[in-house]
Amino acid sequence: MDTIQKRIQHVSKQVEDIILRATDQLIKEKRGLKRAYDISRSQLDAEYSDSCSQVHSSKKEYRHLLQVTEGAKRKLEKSMQRSNAKKEKENDKLYLKFVSSAEKLHKCHNDYTLAILNANTHLDHYHKSTVPFCLNTLQQRMELIERKHGGGYVRTMDISGVYQESFGKLAAVLKELNSKDEYISLIKDNKSNEDTDEETFVFDTSLLQDYCSPKVEATKMSINNLTYDNLRAELSKMEQRLGGI
């Protein structure tokens, strides 16, 4: 009797020192990974949302600059019809104002074109690459943690026959455990849906109906004397960013 009691006490100590401690550590590490995933996923979602917002804000700015430029053009044409010596300075000011508005408008056209390309590319990668990669990485790292701590469970199961008999249900559960089943609902709840009706951005050609000369085309960058300096500056910034990678 004393021998059995000692064996049970020994087994109990093993459960406390190995199984309970390993389980506690397993839960902590898996929760930590899930928190890290949630933070990364939130950042990815925010970046994609920013890409979509940029399209909408660029389109809104486009419409505003169209009105400003058209207004500046009408004022210039009206002033030139009444042109005289005294009006020359005023005409020069109106012309410079019109050119300045046109430059901003052409820059906005390029920003809008690039924003659409960026958002649609972001959408494609988000559903087909980014989200699946994050979920696969989460599952792989959690399974690695399970394998690391699972060895302790198996070693404890072999301590004694008394342990096997007392904790037979635990042994059966461990044998039948399929770690992949754990992630079915997780992936189902967090996966991206490629068949979603989520918006794909298309250039709004109505913006070009009253566009001031020189003419521009939808989805194509505007490259002319109004945009050359700005495009050159943006290219220089991009080269610097790439050089820092």
**Tens-place pLDDT, residues 103-158:** 899 899 999 999 999 899 888 888 888 888 888 888 888 888 877 776 666 666 55
Q: Which residue has the tokens 């008999």?
A: 165
Q: Given this model, what pLDDT does residue 64 score? A: 93
Highest mean pLDDT, choosing among 97-101, 187-191, 199-203:
97-101
**Which position has the higher pLDDT, 48 or 176?**
48
Whether pLDDT at 166 is above 60: no
- Which pLDDT tens digit goes with each residue over 59-81? 999 999 999 999 998 888 888 87
Contacts of 40 (CB under 8 A, 6+ apart): 134
Section 218-242 average pLDDT: 77
Residue 160 confidence class, pLDDT cut points 50, 70, 90: very low
- With 60 as the cut, is the pLDDT of residue 167 above it? no
Query: Is 180 a residue whose pLDDT tops 70?
Result: no
Name the token pair of 7. 């064996």
Q: Give the pLDDT of residue 168.
A: 60
Alpha helix segments (H runs only) across 158-222: 161-166, 168-176, 184-190
Q: What percent of the chain has pLDDT over 90?
A: 10
Query: For the ranges 63-67, 78-82, 169-173, 236-240, which has the lowest average pLDDT?
Result: 169-173
Nearest to 112 by CA among 68, 45, 66, 43: 66
> Residues 197, 198, 201, CA angle at the centre, nearest 5°?
120
User: Would you state the pLDDT for residue 58?
Assistant: 93
Q: Is 211 helix (H, G, I), strand (E, B) or coil?
A: coil
pTM > 0.85: no
